[in-house]
Amino acid sequence: MHARKTARDAYFPDRFDDVFFAARGDVRFKDGGDARRFADRVNVRDERTGEGALRPAELAAMALVHEIFHAVIKLHRQRHGEAFAKLEGLLASQLGAGARETRVRFLETFPTPAIYRGDDTPQMLLAREGRAAEEEATEELILLWLTNQNPAYDSVRPIVTDADLGESYRAFVGEATRFFAGQPPFGPRGESLIDLLLAPSRAAPHSILEQLDYIEKEWGHALGLDQLPIWRRILWGRDFLHEEGKYFQRALQGPGPGAPILDPMRFARQEEEPKRFSADLDWMPRVVLIAKTVFVWLDQLSKKYRRAIERLDQIPDEELDLLASRGFTGLWLIGLFERSRASKKIKQMRGDQDAVASAYSLMRYDIASELGGHAAYEDLKRRAWQRGIRLAADMVPNHVGIDADWVVEHPDWFLQASSPPFPGYRFGGPDLSEDPRVGVFIEEGYWNKTDAAVVFRRHDRHTGQDRFIYHGNDGTSMPWNDTAQLDYTRAEVRHAVIETILHVARMFPIIRFDAAMTLAKRHFSRLWFPLPGTGGAIPSRADYAMTQDEFDRVFPVEFWREVVDTVKARAPDTLLLAEAFWMMEGYFVRTLGMHRVYNSAFMNMLKREENEKYRQTIKNVLDFDPEILKRFVNFMNNPDEETAVAQFGGDDKYFGVAVLMSTMPGLPMFGHGQVEGLHEKYGMEYRRAKWDEHPNEGLVARHEREIFPVLQKRYLFSGVTDFALYDFVAEGGGVDEDVFAYTNAAGGERALVLYNNKFKDTRGRIRASLAARRDDGSTASRHVADALGTSPSQGDWTLFRDVAKGLEYIRPTSEIRGGFYWELGAFKYHVFTEFRGVHATPERPYDKLAAELSGRGVPSIEQALAEVRLRPVHRPLREAVGKGHVDYLLGAWDEKTRDATKEGVNALDERIGHVADGLASMSDAAAPRAKALRELGERYHRVLKMVHANAHGDPEVDGSTSSGEGELLMAWAQLEAVLDLLAGASPQETSRAALVDRWELASPLAEGFGGGSGGEQRAALVLLMATLPTAPVREALLAALVDPKARAFLGVHEAGGVVWLRKEAFEELASALADRDAVDERTSAAMARREVEDAKSVAAREGYKVEWIAKALASVDHGPPTAAPKSADVKPSS
């Protein structure tokens, strides 16, 4: 490309342009910096801005196309040696002096540097160099015409226009084009030279980038350009255009990538990724990690515990206890190390006065003094480890803070330029350094929010030298403006970082490497030293392109492999966890040897319900190497992402995905505030939360019920040796890709997980697992029944428990052998464990229970089985007690006989008969039915008379009782009859208390009394009436004070070193025992009342202290013990 003299006068009056022009006058840029400076001059003078600005990369591409055309013409000369000589003869014969006039006019309008400076003239040049100068001028005239035919050059038309060269110029070009049209074909499609050079602009008239692509594809191999030095310039030009497109897109449209478009993970052939896993130590598979942004967490703890908590050693033991009880074994504290002061200044000067520095812009790897320093860290580490919790910390290997120690002391360690890569950069803002040796300045666009520069300025105050050091950058969004990017092509940098990693490893058994994928060789090259033709990730770095051989010489081995091998040798008890994306997950653990690697597909695909993609990812892992699955870190949010509740909600979908996270092989990682359902995303510079949020107690409680019990079983889910994935085949026959179904096992314990990640109902079966690769290269599958260890020999029925829901199920073993069937509602899930086979017998009728449950789950299969087995006893007992029975029997009262009517007696016979019939169906033992009926009837009669006497008065009846007390007495009478029957059917039981436990009689009694705590309390009282010794009351109360169930009823508890009981419960028990004895006529009603009053007096006198009451009741005269307490010691009942 040529520039007119008038353009050079306008844009470069200071002769600044000499660096841009080759000897023959065409524009030539040695790198992107030249193109940017040239474009900047044009844009400033012409006041071009925004989309109208001249883009440096397009300008460079225009100049490059001109260079390529020269190279093509050179090839033409080599193949058709005399063509241009013949053309010169033709031009001389056809145009005469007009040909020379055209060349002179061209050299005057588009001068060489020497002519522009006045050191030469067109006439002198043509006379001095003769035919060579003529042919060279002819070539340039043809290329000038081609430039002006190309619409892609419209943005530089004032610089390159040929409009005023006159008729002789047009005649000159016309003769040349006709000449080449008549020459032998030259192009790969048989074109003439001129048609060949016009082809790119005809193929893509408005895009210089597409013209370069055309040249690369159509001419590279066909013309042999890919074998010439110009080829690397072509690749550079394309890279420059790509990276500038990224830069301008940010400038015009704003920063930030959209949601990632994810495909299922795929893996390279095994020879490309050799198998070099790092072995886990025994504790590593059981790690469950929870993240805490440290400053925010400390502030939240201060509010929770209502005291200042500002240092690590002030974190309460109670909080560590809570984390441990929930199943967390790793605590990742974000932001522990000394942070960049410059980062803090940037945040505060941009308006956030409460900000601290970014947690990922570091001065050095020492525990921050603001957090209590190393001593506070050691205190927290010790207390956490006492609870089985290991601390985890970040290591940020690719960059440091812009004012970090290394920036001051080792400036050569950073990627840098000697001048700003973009001429528009200005660094006139505040000095962010507090070190007198250097000044640190970020580009002004960060302050006014108009640009996101890729470098900052480091000024050496001693030498005056300026370095323009690149900010950290992963090429996906804007540079991190408070960071300085380390140069890993320098061996001393790699060594220094590895030593720093070892320093961190001596403190923390778990290290998370931030953005680790940026230091893999392929990506460090791609970002910072791109292969020619592959650049464009970071603006201006195309200028630093290296071939693979060049890059390998300065960066010979994978940095992370060096790290892994060094840590294994010098800090082996360290779990290395890599944050790595970009489809490098398998490579990082299988080949580079990291223990764990981030699995962002888990979060993104399940959030979007791209279930088929995620299932395919798992299948691809299993087909390539199942061990990779064990190495994934699965998470529902990352500090860079929105919170888990914001992404997944707080209902079934959230908990379903949380179940997957907790039960898939690998390492589950919970985010800060995830359990509590907090919505705020905490910036890395936050000192405290900005939203006034409180834990969602319902969400926390559901975690307690459904997630934490699963986390306690991580040993069962973390491995891959027995992991198997299944297709859930719906009733229609197709695979339901929305259902995740897998089994796992450990130490003889087995589990099956089901989850439907879609708002729909589904039903189907799982049978054979999908094939998984073995170590020998073969694949294997297993049937779900084998995976769960179910077989007819183990039992006709299979029992299992849902850990997440707390329910147990029973299924025919034969049904599981035919395929495990289940029905799943929208976003429903199950975690089945404790599989065991059983056989049905008359004593254990599992078949009857299964028929009754019909697939439903129950809190306890054994309890449900007991209910089925004991129903003949429980049902009549439950129906015979409680409110209404006294009133019913009083309704059948005969005033003349002062007794129950015949109908009432028959009702009593019928009730006890049901119990006797039930026992007969359960056991061959004869039940003493007649005796039980007789005694029950006698007791009912006496209770009814006492209740009637209480209501109406009857001097002939010894004692009276209320209707409510009568209900208790009748329940006791019924229970006594049942116990008599059970004793006959169970002669091996020697105590009534043992019969109560064996036949589980508390449950029907409580239900009969209405259930709930009230029903349970009344049932407990009735049971004590039946199991405590009979008259006198004093003896029964003494037994109650040592009987565990009686003590529970009495509310026995310790406070202040003294054991107390509840006044009301003691008095209620004493009265009930007295009424019992009166009904059985073991004592008179009057004597029973006196015993109750005596017992109440003793308890009151002894201050309701169990020890003193026992001593008093045991004394013959009921007098006080020798060291009776004073009345002031009496504690009120609670």
1028 in Cβ contact with 1046 (< 8 Å): yes
What angle separates helix 208-219 from helix 193-203, to the nearest 10 degrees?
130
SS (H, E, C) 1008-1039: HCCCHHHHHHHHHHHHHHHHCCCCCHHHHHHH
User: How many C-beta atoms lie closer than 10 Å to residue 104's C-beta?
Assistant: 16
Estimate to the nearest angstrom the gap between the alpha carbon of 914 and the chain centroid. 59
| Phi, psi (rounded to 5 degrees) for 717 | -110, -15
Distance CA 657, CA 302 (A): 31
Q: In this predicted model, what pLDDT tens digit does every residue of 227-238 receive, in sequence order? A: 877 777 777 777
Token look-up 């990640």 returns: 757
Cis peptide leading into residue 812 (ω within 30°):
no
User: How many C-beta atoms lie closer than 10 Å to residue 105's C-beta?
Assistant: 18
Beta carbons within 8 Å of 83's beta carbon, 6+ residues apart? 76, 77, 180, 183
Residue type, 7: A
User: How many C-beta atoms lie closer than 10 Å to residue 759's C-beta?
Assistant: 12
Beta carbons within 8 Å of 1100's beta carbon, 6+ residues apart? 1063, 1130
User: How many C-beta atoms lie closer than 10 Å to residue 624's C-beta?
Assistant: 21
Distance CA 352, CA 681 (A): 16
Long-range contacts formed by 263-267: CB under 8 A, 24+ apart: 263/613, 264/601, 264/613, 264/614, 264/616, 264/617, 264/620, 265/583, 265/585, 265/586, 265/601, 265/617, 265/620, 265/621, 266/583, 266/620, 267/586, 267/620, 267/621, 267/624, 267/625, 267/628
User: How many C-beta atoms lie closer than 10 Å to residue 1125's C-beta?
Assistant: 15
64 in Cβ contact with 133 (< 8 Å): no
Q: What are the residue ranges spanned by the domains of the chain?
A: 5-223, 599-674+688-853, 860-1027, 1029-1134
Q: What region, left, alpha or beta, does residue 834 occupy, with left being phi > 0 and alpha being psi -120 to 50 degrees?
A: left
Distance CA 664, CA 656 (A): 12
β-bridge pairing 337-339 and 362-367: antiparallel
Q: Is 13 exposed, middle or buried (0-12, 13-18, 19+ CB in 10 A)?
A: exposed
Distance CA 502, CA 592 (A): 17
Distance CA 718, CA 666 (A): 5
Q: What does the pLDDT read at residue 37?
A: 82
Q: In this predicted model, what pLDDT tens digit does every residue of 917-972 receive, in sequence order? A: 666 655 544 556 667 767 776 777 777 777 767 666 555 555 556 667 778 888 88
666 in Cβ contact with 626 (< 8 Å): no
Homologous superfamily of the 599-674+688-853 domain (CATH): Golgi alpha-mannosidase II (2.60.40.1180)
Q: What does the pLDDT read at residue 935?
A: 76
Q: In this predicted model, what pLDDT tens digit does every residue of 754-780 receive, in sequence order? A: 999 999 999 999 999 999 998 888 999
Residue type, 125: L
Q: What does the pLDDT read at residue 48?
A: 83
Instruction: Please report, in angstroms and rounded to a whole number, the separation of the first and last CA atoms in the chain.
Output: 98
Q: What does the pLDDT read at residue 889?
A: 59
Distance CA 193, CA 219 (A): 13
Token look-up 């959230």 returns: 654
Q: What does the pLDDT read at residue 825?
A: 96
Q: What does the pLDDT read at residue 1133?
A: 40
Q: What does the pLDDT read at residue 582?
A: 77
Q: What region, left, alpha or beta, does residue 593 occupy, with left being phi > 0 and alpha being psi -120 to 50 degrees?
A: left
Q: What does the pLDDT read at residue 936?
A: 73
Measured CA to CA in angstroms, residue 982 lies from 142, 418, 843, 915, 987 at distances of: 117, 98, 16, 9, 8
Distance CA 723, CA 666 (A): 11
454 in Cβ contact with 540 (< 8 Å): yes
363 in Cβ contact with 404 (< 8 Å): yes
- Residue 765: beta bridge partners? 729, 821
| Phi, psi (rounded to 5 degrees) for 529 | -135, 65
Q: What does the pLDDT read at residue 230?
A: 75
Q: What region, left, alpha or beta, does residue 998 occupy, with left being phi > 0 and alpha being psi -120 to 50 degrees?
A: alpha
β-bridge pairing 466-470 and 416-417: antiparallel
Which residues in the chain land under pLDDT 50? 247-259, 924-925, 1116, 1118-1134
Distance CA 576, CA 510 (A): 6
Put simply, whether the predicted model's pTM sits higher than 0.85 gets the answer no
